[in-house]
């Protein structure tokens, strides 16, 4: 009986066939680094060093691809939000740390990128809210928050507080308020921070309440809904901070 091996040579006898199987016929495999089909002896495939090298190659290829995707997404969001270079560098550093600790398992690349950008902005005191970042990503808020909590916990990071003062210019401009109201908002907020703890309170809620209070003092006609919608909080939150400001700072509205 004639047997044809993978090499193209024929083995006519049982002895020749056994010898051929014992020495091993060459097979074709795809080397991940070359992208080319290369012939390697079967005995080489079980070589531990070659297996480790192939595994490492595969890991390196995935790492490079992962970081390239993350870097592209980070640059896109940063460009849309006009983030400075030091924010982008800090966000990418955080993402790399998350990748090294394998925090991407069960989490999306884009979600972790968004979370890294948000933390970098808060750490550096740059006025960008989570909602602004969410508006620029395809990930839902729940997943991004989950990634953010993982960053805080696994990288042992301190939760930075966003200074409400840093948010004032943006919302003054969005609401088309004048410089006089802006200066009053700053004065109220500085007194508020000096006398009342802002820990655990949404900085946007504080700003919304202060904006409404300043407008009331200056008799500028604007609704709570307009301010709440612009800042990105509920009217309930705005009223809560507004009442707190009046009570704690002993402010009288005529």
List Cβ neighbours of 21 (8 Å cut-off, separation of 6 or more): none
Q: What is the pLDDT of residue 46?
A: 55
For residues 210 and 188, membership in a common domain is answered with: yes
* pLDDT score of 209: 96
pLDDT of residue 58: 57
Residues 214/188, Cβ–Cβ less than 8 Å:
yes
The shares of helix, strand and coil residues in the chain, as percent rounded to the nearest 5, are 65, 5, 30
What is the reported pLDDT for 3? 45
* Total count of domains within the chain: 2
Write out the residue range of the structural domain in which residue 218 sits. Answer: 164-248
- Does 180 lie in the same domain as 150? no
Residue that the structure tokens 């790492």 belong to: 63
Can you give the pLDDT at residue 161? 77
Among 98, 120, 154, residue at a domain's last position = 154
> What is the predicted pLDDT for the residue at 235?
95
Q: Is residue 196 part of a domain?
A: yes
- Separation CA 77–CA 67 (nearest Å): 15
The answer to whether residues 76 and 137 belong to one domain is yes
Predicted local distance difference test score (pLDDT) of residue 213: 95
The whole-number pLDDT of residue 16 equals 53
Instruction: Based on the fold, state whether residues 144 and 182 are members of the same structural domain.
Output: no
CA atoms within 13 A on the CB side of 158: 5
Whether residue 106 contacts residue 149, with contact meaning beta carbons closer than 8 Å, is answered with no
This prediction's pTM: 0.60
pLDDT tens digits, the chain, 254 residues: what are they? 444 444 444 444 555 555 555 444 444 434 444 343 444 444 444 556 555 655 555 555 767 888 999 999 999 999 999 999 999 999 999 999 999 999 999 999 999 999 999 999 989 888 888 889 999 999 999 999 999 999 999 999 988 778 889 889 999 999 999 999 999 999 999 999 888 887 778 889 999 999 999 999 999 999 999 999 999 899 999 999 999 999 988 888 87
pLDDT at 236: 95
Q: Please give the structure tokens belonging to residue 3.
A: 């047997």
C-alpha distances out from residue 169 to 46, 78, 175, 177, 183, Å: 65, 20, 10, 10, 10
**Residue 17 counted as domain residue:** no
Neighbours of 61 (CB within 10 A): 12
Domain co-membership, 195 together with 243: yes
């Amino acid at each position: 009986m004639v047997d044809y091996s993978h090499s193209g040579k024929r083995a006519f006898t049982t002895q020749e066939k056994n010898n051929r199987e014992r020495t091993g016929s060459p097979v074709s495999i795809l080397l991940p680094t070359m992208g080319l089909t290369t012939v390697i002896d079967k005995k080489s495939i079980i070589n531990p060093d070659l297996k480790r090298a192939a595994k490492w190659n595969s890991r390196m290829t995935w790492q490079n691809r992962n970081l390239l995707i993350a870097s592209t997404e980070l640059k896109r969001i940063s460009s849309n939000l006009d983030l400075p270079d030091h924010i982008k560098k800090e966000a990418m550093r955080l993402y790399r740390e998350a990748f090294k600790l394998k925090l991407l398992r069960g989490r999306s690349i884009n979600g972790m990128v968004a979370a890294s950008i948000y933390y970098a902005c808060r750490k550096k005191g740059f006025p960008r809210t989570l909602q602004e970042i969410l508006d620029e990503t395809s990930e839902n808020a729940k997943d991004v928050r989950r990634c953010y909590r993982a960053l805080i916990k696994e990288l042992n990071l301190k939760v930075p507080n966003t200074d409400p003062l840093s948010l004032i210019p943006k919302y003054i401009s969005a609401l088309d308020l004048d410089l006089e109201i802006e200066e009053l908002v700053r004065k109220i907020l500085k007194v508020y921070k000096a006398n009342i703890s802002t820990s655990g309170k949404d900085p946007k809620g504080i700003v919304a309440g202060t904006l409404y209070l300043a407008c009331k003092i200056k008799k500028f006609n604007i609704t709570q809904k307009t301010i709440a919608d612009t800042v990105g909080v509920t009217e309930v939150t705005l009223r809560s901070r507004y009442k707190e400001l009046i009570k704690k700072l002993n402010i009288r509205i005529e």
